[in-house]
Amino acid sequence: MQFEPETLRLVGKGLKTLEEGFRSLPEPEAEVPASARMAEIMQEVARRMRDNYPYFHPMYAGQMLKPPHPLARAAYALATWINPNNHALDGGRASSAMEREAVAEIAAMFGWKEHLGHICGGGTVANMEALWVAHRLQPEKKIVASALAHYTHSRISGVLGASFEAVPTDARARMDTAALGKILEKGNVGCVVATVGTTGTGSVDALPEILRLRDRYGFRLHADAAYGGYFKLASNLAPETRAAYDLIGEADSIVIDPHKHGLQPYGCGCVLFRDPGVGVLYKHDSPYTYFTSKELHLGEISLECSRAGASAVALWATQRLLPLEPGGEFARGLETCREAALEFSRRLAAVPRWLVPVAPELDIVVWAPRAASASRCSELSQRIFDAAARRNLHLALMRLPARYMTARDAAMKPDQETVLCLRSVLMKPEHRAWMDRLWQALTQAADEAGHMPA
| Chain segment 210-235, per-residue pLDDT in tens | 999 999 999 999 999 999 999 999 99
**How many folded domains does the chain comprise?**
2
* Domain contains 44: no
Last residue of a domain, one of 251, 286, 321: 321
202 and 310 in a single domain? The answer is yes
Q: How far apart are CA 96 and CA 118, in angstroms?
A: 10
The DSSP code sequence of 291-343 is: TT-SSPPGGGG-S-SS-BHHHHHHHHHHHHHS-S-TTSHHHHHHHHHHHHHHH
Q: Considering the chain, what percentage of its residues have pLDDT values greater than 70?
A: 96
Let me know if residue 114 belongs to a domain. Answer: yes
Using the predicted structure, report yes or no on whether residue 157 has a pLDDT greater than 90: yes
Mean pLDDT for the stretch of residues 26-52: 88
Q: Would you state the pLDDT for residue 20?
A: 92
List b or e across 228-242, with b for residues whose CB sees 16 or more CB atoms inside 10 angstroms.
bbbbbbbeebeeebb
Q: Based on the domain organization, do 226 and 374 belong to the same domain?
A: no
For residue 78, the model assigns a pLDDT of 96
Q: Is the entire prediction scored with pTM above 0.85? A: yes
Q: Are residues 114 and 204 in the same domain?
A: yes
Q: Is residue 13 in a domain?
A: no
29 three-class SS: coil
HSE on the CB side for 181, CA within 13 Å? 11
Does 295 lie in the same domain as 244? yes
Over residues 288-298, the mean pLDDT reads 57
Same domain? For 437 and 302 the reply is no
277, 154: one domain:
yes
Q: What is the DSSP letter of 180?
A: H
Q: Is residue 104 part of a domain?
A: yes
CATH of the domain at 209: 3.40.640.10
Whether the Cβ atoms of residue 140 and residue 134 lie closer than 8 Å to each other = no
Q: pLDDT grade, residue 352 (50/70/90)?
A: very high
Average pLDDT over residues 170-190: 97
Q: Round to whole Å and give the CA distance between 240 and 45.
A: 47
In a domain, 271, yes or no: yes
d(CA 324, CA 88): 27
Q: What is the pLDDT of residue 285?
A: 58
Check whether residue 117 and residue 209 sit in a common domain: yes
- What's the rounded Cα separation, in Å, for the pair 321 and 188? 46
Per the CB < 8 A criterion, the answer to whether 154 and 164 are in contact is: yes
295, pLDDT greater than 70: no
Give yes or no: residues 246 and 362 share one domain. Answer: no
Q: Is the dihedral of CA 24, 30, 85, 330 positive or negative?
A: positive
Residues linked to residue 120 through DSSP beta bridges, in sequence order: 269
CATH of the domain at 384: 3.90.1150.10
Task: Flag whether pLDDT at 297 surpasses 90.
Answer: no
Report the C-alpha gap between 173 and 200 in whole angstroms.
9
pLDDT tens per residue, range 64-102 = 999 999 999 999 999 999 999 988 888 899 999 999 999
User: Domain check: are 203 and 311 in the same one?
Assistant: yes
315 lies in the same domain as 352:
no
User: For residue 443, what are the domain limits?
Assistant: 334-448
Is the same domain home to 368 and 269? Answer: no
Q: What is the mean pLDDT of residues 260-282?
A: 94
| Domain presence at residue 75 | no
Interatomic CA distance for residues 352 and 365, integer angstroms: 17
Residue 453 pLDDT level (bands cut at 50, 70, 90): low
Residue at 275 is within a domain: yes
Task: Cite the DSSP H helix spans in 322-421.
Answer: 329-349, 374-390, 403-406
What was the pLDDT predicted at 454?
54
pLDDT at 249: 98
Alpha-carbon span 157 to 130, nearest angstrom: 11
Q: Is the pLDDT of residue 373 over 50?
A: yes
